Structure 1
């Protein structure tokens, strides 16, 4: 797959911000393996031009993906897909462990803590 093969469409009717649509699609492609680890991504300007979005929007998507461990920027060498699945799984596990410890300190029982997580997940996935 080359950078030209990356298929992302911005849906103007979608209430989700354009940068989030780009972030979600690139994350999905990386996690599924459609964009393999080490795959070089287009420059911010190149991605912006290809998608018809502002360079700041593309940059915001790349920053979010980098913060999530999905991509890595290697200076002038470019931006590449990182080990997205493994990095994302580790980050989610760390967040879950931190939540579990916080819920316990708050005195919540496991069922109440689990219900709070399930409601948060429903809310988060409804907004997509």
Structure 2
């Protein structure tokens, strides 16, 4: 459940956007699941309908959710687009490693170090 902290420095639309994104990423909201109307969610959260509409617009632009006209707004049926982008990036990386004939285990170690913020050149 998303809760808006009205005293936070993060704007309510961003809290809502991040909360919905987290719910989709964690599968709390499943692909194809219908979301509340803008007015209903605004009422439930105690925020302005324009705030919900802005969060919905940003999530729709990122292909996290989709609006189906009068049928309502739904979690995108294609699944988590962030995960899809990461999968595409991984496929491109893997192809580049194969093209360079680089050792896969060493490449994975470099990626792991980079993701953890370590300097891959220093091991």
> If the TM-score is normalised by the length of the shorter chain, which range does it land in?
0.5 to 0.7
Q: Which residue of 2 aligns with 1:77?
A: 71
Gaps of 5+ in 2: 93-113, 118-123
- Structure 1 residue 49: Cα displacement: 0.6
1:12 aligns with 2:6: yes
Partner of 1:26: 20
Aligned counterpart for 1:56 among listed residues 31, 50, 53 = 50
C-alpha deviation, 1:89, in angstroms:
3.1
Name segments (4+ residues, structure 1) moved above 4 Å. 91-95
Deviation, 1:76, is 0.2
Output the TM-score relative to the length of structure 2: 0.66
What is the root-mean-square deviation in Å for CA atoms of aligned residues?
2.1
Closer, same or farther in 2 for the Cα pair 1:67/1:93, shift >3 Å? farther
Alignment length, in residue pairs?
91
Unmatched tracts of structure 1, length 5 or more: 1-6, 98-114, 119-128
- Whose helix proportion is higher, 1 or 2? 1
- Give the match for residue 107 of structure 2: none
When normalised by structure 1's length, the TM-score is: 0.63
Asked if residue 46 in structure 1 is aligned to residue 40 in structure 2, the reply is: yes
Question: Deviation string for 1:50-82 (max 9, x for gaps)?
Answer: 101001000000001101111000000010001
